[in-house]
Amino acid sequence: MEFSISDLTKITGVKRVTLRQWIHRGFLELSIAPQGSGRKNRYKIEDIYRICVLEKLLRGGVARLSAGYLIGHIQFEKLRKGPNYYILQVGPEGNWKSALGVMMDHIPQPSDEDYFFVVVNLNAIKQEVDEKVKDLLL
């Protein structure tokens, strides 16, 4: 299934101009390559998941370049049932020190007092997006 940029804004709540900036600046790598000038880009559900995770990481204080790099490595199609947390240990400048893609019941404490954790529940994001997509299609 493919989506338009209008669909993305309805599902994610992220403004169209912001989405285009993230794509243009390389924070988001699209799963469908742009078709050329004057053609409308199309997006896959995995792009929507990545947009939601990127937005959550940015709100959590992760620098855009770091967040963009990290979301490129999440494989949503390989998520297991149960909690799948993406945990980042983030420094004062918004740069990440370590990242864990784990299934766990509790969140560890940061190893350095200048750092903090940003925790993203990938399954919760995936479920929320899937529900919004379902509503959009009705």
Report domain extents, the chain. 5-137
CB-CB contact of 63 with 25 (8 Å): no
The domain defined by 5-137 carries CATH number 1.10.1660: yes
pTM of the prediction?
0.79
pLDDT computed for residue 34 by the predictor: 67
Q: Give the pLDDT confidence of 71-94 residue by residue, as tens digits.
A: 877 777 777 666 677 777 777 776
Q: What is the mean pLDDT of each run of 10 residues along the chain (138 residues)?
A: 90 92 84 70 88 88 82 75 70 65 53 69 87 90
